[in-house]
């Protein structure tokens, strides 16, 4: 009898309690975690003015980097939000290959910031603790603090510049609500980043290469809903 009364009381409390929403209109989500930019670069042949143009078989390279990623999202409706991706500056080594020794290898380094503004869509019931989503938006990548390596300078290179980029971005992600406010998050993005790199080589003039950086961007972290 006591067990039956306890069960009935628990059902009554559950029925009276308001249903918690995972995401709803007006919510602000702040996420932070480790974010990796992994370039899948595809470059043109490197053009060297003093050699008559593009040198067949030569390419530019970029390595990956992991930093602190930040997301800020505002839920416009229970299913649609606007999200801004930010991060601490990424650092990448820039290299060339195909010229042979002593040119091949690290040419220099750069920093970049890729703020990305997206519209995201959550298809599931807003009351679900599990919230997968998809999104699309626009990216601006700012390249700065470019530096040649000491080896490149010794080989006669001077100056290094990369053009900033505008491009589209797409993403998939997943929020899981641990409490009414605390969540864990994982996300994957593809960003269209195109740039042109230029430098000077003593005796050969301007060196130029077009690069489709097109990175995959991975982030895992935690978040808080206000």
**What are the domain boundaries of the chain?**
2-225
Distances in Å between the alpha carbon of 191 and those of 79, 116, 206?
23, 9, 29
- 104-157 confidence digits (pLDDT tens): 889 999 999 999 999 999 999 999 999 999 999 999 999 999 999 999 999 889
Q: What is the pLDDT of residue 99?
A: 87
User: Percentage of the chain surpassing pLDDT 70?
Assistant: 91
Q: Report whether pLDDT(14) > 50.
A: no
Lowest mean pLDDT among 3-12, 15-24, 67-76, 197-206: 3-12
Q: Report whether pLDDT(6) > 90.
A: no
Report the alpha-carbon distance of residue 173 to residue 169 in Å, rounded: 13
36: CB partners within 8 A, 6+ apart = 64, 65, 66, 217, 218, 219
Mean residue pLDDT across the chain: 90
Q: Report whether pLDDT(90) > 70.
A: yes
Q: Report whether pLDDT(91) > 70.
A: yes
Topology adopted by domain 2-225: Porin (2.40.160)
Q: What is the pLDDT of residue 12?
A: 44
Q: What is the mean pLDDT of residues 5-14?
A: 43
| 223 HSE (CA, 13 A, CB side) | 27
Assigned token pair, 163? 């053009």
Q: What is the pLDDT of residue 7?
A: 46
* Sign of the CA dihedral with 83 first, then 184, 64, and 93 last: positive
Give the DSSP per-residue string, 128-175. Answer: -SEEEEEEEEEEEEEEEEEEE-HHHHHTTEEEEEE--EEEEEEEEEEE
User: How sure is the predictor about 38, in pLDDT bands with cuts at 50, 70 and 90?
Assistant: very high
């Amino acid at each position: 009898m006591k067990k039956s009364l306890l069960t009935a009381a628990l059902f009554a409390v559950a029925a009276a309690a308001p249903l918690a929403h995972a995401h709803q209109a007006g919510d602000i989500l702040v996420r932070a975690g480790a974010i990796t930019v992994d370039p899948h670069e595809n470059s043109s042949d490197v053009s060297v003015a003093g050699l008559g143009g593009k040198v067949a078989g030569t390419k530019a390279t970029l390595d990956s980097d992991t930093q602190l990623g930040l997301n800020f999202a505002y839920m416009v409706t229970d299913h649609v939000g606007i999200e801004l991706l930010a991060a601490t500056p990424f650092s990448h080594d820039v290299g060339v290959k195909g010229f042979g020794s002593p040119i091949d290898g690290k040419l220099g380094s750069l920093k970049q910031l890729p703020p990305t503004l997206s519209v995201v869509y959550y298809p599931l019931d807003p009351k679900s603790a599990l919230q997968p989503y998809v999104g699309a938006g626009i990216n601006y990548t700012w390249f700065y603090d470019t530096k040649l390596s000491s080896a490149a300078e010794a080989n006669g290179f001077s100056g290094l510049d990369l053009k900033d980029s505008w491009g589209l971005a797409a993403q998939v992600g997943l929020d899981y609500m641990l409490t009414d406010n605390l969540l864990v998050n994982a996300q994957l993005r593809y960003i269209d980043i195109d740039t042109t790199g230029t430098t000077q080589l003593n005796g050969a003039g301007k060196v130029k290469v077009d690069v489709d950086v097109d990175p995959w961007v991975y982030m895992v972290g935690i978040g808080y809903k206000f």
